[in-house]
Structure 1
Amino acid sequence: MTALELRELRKTYRPRGRPPVEAVRGIGLRLGSGELLGLLGPSGCGKSTTLRMIAGLEPVTGGDILVGGTSVTDRPARRRNIGVAFENYALYPPLTVAENLAFGLRARRGNDRDAVRRRVARIAERVGLTDVLDARPAGLSSGQKQRVSLARALIREPDVLLLDEPLSHLDAAQRDTTRRELKRIQRDLGHTTILVTHDQEEAMSLADRIAVMRDGVIQQAGTPYEIYDRPATTFVADFVGEPAINLLPGIAGADGHARLSAGVRVPLPVSVPAGRPVVVGIRPEDLALTGADGIPARVVAHEPLLESGIATLALAGVERRLVVLTGPGVRLAHDEQVRVAAGLVHVFDAETGDSLR
């Protein structure tokens, strides 16, 4: 097992006749040996570019990449011993599963046929492909193709494993099954791994730590619980969580509350100078419908979802709607008057979006 470190890694594209584009802007990360890090962010944030630089498939503009404490930035991809499982599988259609797995090994010197055959059988058993070794990619399910792609990255016994949107082409049932298998395989083999994804559920369920990326910059890195419970910015708070967090603009008052409108105030968890514009963040599960106490609200919509429900409420004088997670037995009618109280409250600076807690 091997540690991976990124030091001020940068990538700038310079298209002819157009201004430079900074895809990755000086990110720094360190993965411990055997750790799985989820690199999470929207499309175009630079996460796949980062992965390609680590793999040696994209030249680095600046910074350094260290594997096991040794810089590999100037090494070609073939000399980095980094395994990559691509989003589009990248399998060879005319070859069987066994031949796909063996292809890279046979291209290297010093690997005899018996040794290759043994390694193919061993990795196929690990990832559940023993029964399809003689099949060709066209006859495989999406989940099986993904396991072949993963096995091909693992068979070279890499120092670092990179997974680029590994579950994006699977349906919901296959995604759940493959996600559990992927976590088991990574734990069993202990490879230091980066998982690139835009799917927060995928990152939260698989990763030891998550780095949330936006516009080529790491906004926050931490455990899934740290990212969810203590978001560093409004972007992180909004990107992680389903249903999405309620973000409501307001003004801090001298009484320790944020005024959202003339009649709506929310207590702040920290001391904020009076008059400072803030954004109050409250997750739907941290809101509760109450009896006599709480903030008056009107029901705009209610979606009963068996095990829970989602209520959309209007607050007097507040432009943005409030989303509340309700219990399984709750029934609400359109335009019904209710009261709602907040539990855990997050507060952010309205100008920078940074957490004030």
Structure 2
Amino acid sequence: MTELELRDLRKTFRSRGRPPVDAVRGIDLALRSGELLGLLGPSGCGKSTTLRMIAGLESVSGGDILVGGTSVIDRPAQARNIGVAFENYALYPPLTVAENLAFGLKARRGNARGDVQRKVAEIADRVDLTGILDARPAGLSSGQKQRVSLARALVREPDVLLLDEPLSHLDAAQRDTTRRELKRIQRDLGHTTILVTHDQEEALSLADRIAVMKDGVIQQIGTPYEIYDSPANLFVADFVGEPAINLLPGTVTDDGRARLSDSVHLALPVPVTQGREVVVGVRPEDLSLTGEDGLPARVVAHEPLLEAGVATLALDGVERPLVVLTGPEVRLAHDEQVRVAADTRLTHVFDAETGELLR
């Protein structure tokens, strides 16, 4: 197993007649041996560019990449021993599954025919492909194609494994199954892995740690619990969580509460200077409908889902609606009057100008 480290990694795209574009703007990351890190962010934030630089498929504008403590920045892709499973599978249609798995091994010197066959058989057994080794990609399901792509990256016994949106083409049922298989395989084989994804559920369920990225900059690094429970700024808070966190602008009053409207004031978990403009963040599951206490609200909509309900409420004078998770037994009618309370211990306060969490 091998450590991976990125030091001030940067990538600037330049084209004649156009201003340069800074796609990756100084990333510092250190992965422990055997760790799976989720690189999470919206499309265009620099995730795939970072992955391609690590793999040697994209030139580097600045910084360094170390695998096992040794810089690989000057090594070509084929000399880095890094496995990549691509979003679009990148399988060879004329070849069988077995031939696709063996292709990279045969291209590398030093692999005897018997060793290639043994390695293909071993990885096919690990990834449950033994029964389709003679099939061609055209006859495979999306889930099978994804497993072939993953197996082809693993069969070379890489020092580092890079997964580029590996589940994006799968339907919901296949995604759940493949996600569990992927986690099992990574744990069993112990490869140091980066998972590039825009899917927060994928990152939260698979990764040991998550790096949330925006505009070429990492906003926060932490465990899934740290990212979810203690977001460093408004972007992280808003990007991670389903249903999304409630973000309510307000002004701090002389008694230390946030005034969301003339009649709606919320207690804050930390002392904040009077008059400061803030955004209060409360996750839907940290709100509760109460019998007597709490703020008066009107039910705009209620979705009674099987395992829970999602209520959308209107607070007096507050422009943004409030989303609350309810128990499956709760029944609410349109325009019904209710009271809602927030758990102050789980409330987040962000500076309205900088977006940073106030601690």
Check whether TM > 0.5: yes
2:142 corresponds to which residue?
A: 142
2:63 corresponds to which residue?
A: 63
1:194 and 2:194 correspond: yes
2:19 corresponds to which residue?
A: 19
1:345 corresponds to which residue?
A: 347
Report the AA paired with residue 210 of structure 2: I
* Whole-angstrom CA distance in 1 between matches of 2:152 and 2:71: 25
2:215 corresponds to which residue?
A: 215
Identity %: 84
Report the AA paired with residue 250 of structure 1: G
* Whole-angstrom CA distance in 2 between matches of 1:148 and 1:341: 50
- Partner of 2:260: helix, strand, or coil? strand
Can you give the 5+ residue segments of structure 1 that lack an aligned partner in the other structure?
none
Query: Deviations for 1:133-170, whole angstroms, at most 9, x for unmatched residues?
Result: 00000111111100000000001100000000000000
Instruction: State the 1:254 CA deviation.
Output: 2.3
* Whole-angstrom CA distance in 1 between matches of 2:68 and 2:252: 48
Report the AA paired with residue 68 of structure 1: G
* Whole-angstrom CA distance in 1 between matches of 2:109 and 2:58: 25
Query: Deviations for 1:300-342, whole angstroms, at most 9, x for unmatched residues?
Result: 1111002111110111111100000011111111111111000
Can you give the 5+ residue segments of structure 2 that lack an aligned partner in the other structure?
none
- Partner of 2:122: helix, strand, or coil? helix
Instruction: State the 1:59 CA deviation.
Output: 0.2
- Partner of 1:261: helix, strand, or coil? coil
Q: Give runs of aligned pairs for residues 192-341 of structure 1, distance below 5 A.
A: 192-341=192-341
1:355 and 2:357 correspond: yes
1:115 and 2:103 correspond: no
Instruction: State the 1:2 CA deviation.
Output: 0.3
What is the aligned residue count?
357
- Partner of 1:9: helix, strand, or coil? strand
Instruction: State the 1:291 CA deviation.
Output: 1.1
2:133 corresponds to which residue?
A: 133
* Whole-angstrom CA distance in 2 between matches of 1:222 and 1:237: 13
* Whole-angstrom CA distance in 2 between matches of 1:68 and 1:254: 55
1:76 corresponds to which residue?
A: 76
Report the AA paired with residue 174 of structure 1: Q
Runs of 4+ in 1 over 3 A off after TM superposition: none
* Whole-angstrom CA distance in 2 between matches of 1:193 and 1:207: 9
1:174 corresponds to which residue?
A: 174
User: What RMSD over aligned residues (CA atoms) do the two structures have, in Å?
Assistant: 0.6
* Whole-angstrom CA distance in 1 between matches of 2:31 and 2:264: 45
* Whole-angstrom CA distance in 2 between matches of 1:252 and 1:85: 49
Instruction: State the 1:200 CA deviation.
Output: 0.3
Instruction: State the 1:99 CA deviation.
Output: 0.3
Report the AA paired with residue 279 of structure 2: V
* Whole-angstrom CA distance in 1 between matches of 2:202 and 2:106: 34
* Whole-angstrom CA distance in 1 between matches of 2:274 and 2:122: 65
Query: Deviations for 1:70-92, whole angstroms, at most 9, x for unmatched residues?
Result: 00011100010000000000000
Report the AA paired with residue 41 of structure 1: G
